[in-house]
Chain A
Amino acid sequence: MTSWRASSGSGARPGEDRAPNASEAGAGRHTPGRVGMRGIVKRHGSFTALAGIDLDIAPGEFFALLGPSGSGKTTTLRILAGLEPPTAGTVVLDGEDVTAREPGARDVAMVFQSYALYPHMTVFDNIAFPLRMIATPQHEVERAVRDAAAKVHIDHLLARRPGQLSGGQQQRCALARAIVRKPRLFLLDEPLSNLDAKLRLETRVELRKLQRALGVTTVYVTHDQEEAMTIADRVAVFMEGRIVQVGRPQDIFARPASAIVAAFIGSPPMNLLPAEVHDGLLKVAGVDVPLARPLGANGPVTLGVRPAALRIADRGLPARVYLIENLGDTTIVDLDVAGQVIKLRTEQPPALHEGDAVHVAFAPDAMHVFERDSGARRDV
């Protein structure tokens, strides 16, 4: 996926629909927080953690780095923060090359996965720390700390120490420490991963609101695709040290660039089945499937269909009901198609039993076709 350039003018760009935020924060002046990464490579000995990352993030954008563990998303964030030097490539913030700059000289704030609160200081002192390091007058520190604490609803806990806070409160304290000095860039490294499921959902919403209100460019690392899809303006999907797709969540969902991305996004993710193109027809599990458009050259491909796009029908691929998972409002039906289990999601509980022989069908325009070898999307 090509990324758009900072210099490529103000045409149709992904950040366009959030223009109100930018003007709110910048009030007409140039909004800081434009991020560029050019050809970032990171090697640890013979291991390549990042194999050439190019990224452009617009001011005020909420940008998620999504990928499984070890895919290089956290390394990318750390290089952006200046905590690790890249082996090659440049980091550009607001048009300036900051690759060689110390973390403290980049005007970025980070929330660590472990929160990294200073355990010997009170919440107040934790939040005040970044201000005191630049010799802010005491009355201003006082005001800014209370302001930041109030934004994340911990203003009643300022006298406590981090050890006396709950996990959620610690997380807020770390957030307050990041927002207190109004940096041009927030870096969040899996900030919700240490919270329990319910709190995670609540905090996710609040985080999004807070970011909108502050209008600060935010780079957010997560391995949770649902989190990335719901919270971010745009998402970069990382696989094995590369960005395999960049785009708005709905675009990535609708048109995954490769079979790997398709298998990573969605819950449950897209079903993938081996198929064969021959003479304008798609052969899956021994059945010829009707096509909406011509499919290009003959050869082996991978067919992808989202679980929600599948339905039980009179005709279609022969399948056997393998397992029925009732989730209350939806039901997931595991189907055995030619020895491979695929998942069907439906909101009407189907009158099926395990072991039933059925047929499963899908609309021609719900098909995603990928090259079998490279996994690349075959645009149909």
Chain B
Amino acid sequence: MKRARTVALVVLAAALLAIWAFPVLWALLTSFKTERDVLAYPPTVIFTPTLRNYHDVLFGATSLLPNLLSSVIVAGVSTLLTLLLAIPAAYALARLDFPGKRTSGFYVLATQMLPPVGLIIPYYLVLQKIGGLDTYAGLIVIYLTFSLPFAIWLMVSYFEDIPHEMEEAALLDRAGRLRALWYVILPQARGGIAVTTIFVFLNAWNEFLFAVVLGGNRVRPVTVAMFNFISVEQTLWAKLAAGAMLAMAPVILLGLLAQRHIVKGLTVGAVKGGGRR
């Protein structure tokens, strides 16, 4: 009975995994095909693999390396700034009592309620006025407007899960507010920080709409550059797939690094005392 259950679970898990993994695996296969093999119908699984696409997107005329660097700068800096600002803000919202706390909390959330598309034209005009179009600073600031509220709201819940006695004990142990935050609270919120980092980085890394409109020539993240493989005459599927694989690599790396923390972070509050330790 128990065995049948296990088998059923494994089959179900495999099916779900297959659905999730299929597009990724298909893109991986495609990235090793020639453009001709890609268009073969019925699609072929057995073909002579080629590294030509990778060569092209790495070192060819259509190299994505500068764009990857662009993406790393935009996503990396905006993630760093987000954490730097969101952690103290979230801690204050979770713990301190100050005038206008509720209002500011709501305001932070309210910015998330606007559909981003509606903001593109205003942002474009503002950046144009202040000379921020096609600059890293400009795009990063725009990303902050989305990532900060998100990160603050995510972090608030993690801070609220940490018992008040933690700070109180630290305060009585003569740590003071800042050292209590640094030595006692942040280490316990590291799951939440890891989760926030991943989400914020992913959003910035995968962002396309703002990058294509507000970026341009100097600032051209990999998402925008890949878009150039799709043109009116043809779509270079194989190169696109190779580019996608390349673009995925840093995120997967980051995910693996943070995985241990993420699993803990996602279960905080699920069980009393769970996730802490």
Is B188 at the interface (CB under 8 A from chain A)?
Answer: yes
As a 0/1 sequence over residues 77 to 95 of chain A, the CB contacts with chain B under 8 angstroms (1 = contact) are 0000111000000000000
Binds A, one of B22-30, B168-176, B234-242: B168-176
As a 0/1 sequence over residues 11 to 48 of chain A, the CB contacts with chain B under 8 angstroms (1 = contact) are 00000000000000000000000000000000000000
Task: Given A120-B188, A133-B179, decide whether A110 and B174 contact each other with a Cβ distance below 8 A.
Answer: no
Binds B, one of A111-119, A221-229, A274-282: A111-119
Q: Find out whether the CB atom of A161 lies under 8 angstroms from the CB atom of B277.
A: yes
Give the size of the chain B interface in residues (CB under 8 angstroms): 19
Q: Find out whether the CB atom of A109 lies under 8 angstroms from the CB atom of B172.
A: yes
Binds B, one of A55-63, A100-108, A255-263, A356-364: A100-108
Q: Find out whether the CB atom of A81 lies under 8 angstroms from the CB atom of B172.
A: yes
> How far is A118 from B165 in the complex, measured between Cα atoms in Å?
10
> How far is A224 from B250 in the complex, measured between Cα atoms in Å?
59
Q: Find out whether the CB atom of B171 lies under 8 angstroms from the CB atom of A112.
A: no
Q: Find out whether the CB atom of B277 lies under 8 angstroms from the CB atom of A177.
A: no
> How far is A81 from B176 in the complex, measured between Cα atoms in Å?
14
Q: How far is the CB of A117 from chain B (nearest CB, A)?
A: 8
Chain A contacts for B163, CB-based, 8 A:
114, 116
> How far is A9 from B170 in the complex, measured between Cα atoms in Å?
37
B contact patch SS = helix
* Residue from A81, A104, A116 within 8 A of B174 (CB atoms): A104
Residues of chain B in range 175-189 having any CB-CB distance to chain A below 8 Å: 175-176, 179, 183-184, 187-188
Q: Find out whether the CB atom of B173 lies under 8 angstroms from the CB atom of A129.
A: yes
Is A290 at the interface (CB under 8 A from chain B)?
Answer: no
> How far is A109 from B277 in the complex, measured between Cα atoms in Å?
23
Q: How far is the CB of B95 from chain A (nearest CB, A)?
A: 13
Is A134 at the interface (CB under 8 A from chain B)?
Answer: yes
Chain A contacts for B179, CB-based, 8 A:
133
Q: Find out whether the CB atom of A108 lies under 8 angstroms from the CB atom of B172.
A: yes
> How far is A133 from B174 in the complex, measured between Cα atoms in Å?
6
Q: Find out whether the CB atom of A104 lies under 8 angstroms from the CB atom of B188.
A: no
Give the size of the chain A interface in residues (CB under 8 angstroms): 24
As a 0/1 sequence over residues 153 to 166 of chain A, the CB contacts with chain B under 8 angstroms (1 = contact) are 00000000111000
> How far is A108 from B171 in the complex, measured between Cα atoms in Å?
11
Q: Find out whether the CB atom of A104 lies under 8 angstroms from the CB atom of B172.
A: yes
As a 0/1 sequence over residues 124 to 152 of chain A, the CB contacts with chain B under 8 angstroms (1 = contact) are 00000110011000000000000000000
Chain B contacts for A112, CB-based, 8 A:
165, 168-169
Q: Find out whether the CB atom of A103 lies under 8 angstroms from the CB atom of B171.
A: yes
Is B276 at the interface (CB under 8 A from chain A)?
Answer: yes
Is B254 at the interface (CB under 8 A from chain A)?
Answer: no
> How far is A254 from B277 in the complex, measured between Cα atoms in Å?
48
Chain B contacts for A118, CB-based, 8 A:
166, 169-170, 183-184, 187-188
Which B residue's beta carbon lies closest to that of A163?
Answer: B277
> How far is A114 from B184 in the complex, measured between Cα atoms in Å?
16
Chain A contacts for B174, CB-based, 8 A:
104-105, 130, 133-134
As a 0/1 sequence over residues 126 to 139 of chain B, the CB contacts with chain A under 8 angstroms (1 = contact) are 00000000000000
Which A residue's beta carbon lies closest to that of B173?
Answer: A130
Chain A contacts for B277, CB-based, 8 A:
119-120, 161-163
Residues of chain B in range 118-155 having any CB-CB distance to chain A below 8 Å: none
Q: Find out whether the CB atom of A133 lies under 8 angstroms from the CB atom of B169.
A: no
Give 16 CB contacts A-B under 8 Å: A81-B168, A82-B172, A83-B168, A104-B171, A104-B172, A104-B174, A104-B176, A108-B172, A114-B163, A116-B166, A116-B168, A118-B166, A129-B183, A130-B173, A130-B174, A162-B277
- 5 new A-B pairs (CB below 8 Å) besides A102-B176, A104-B172, A120-B188? A82-B172, A83-B168, A103-B172, A112-B165, A119-B277
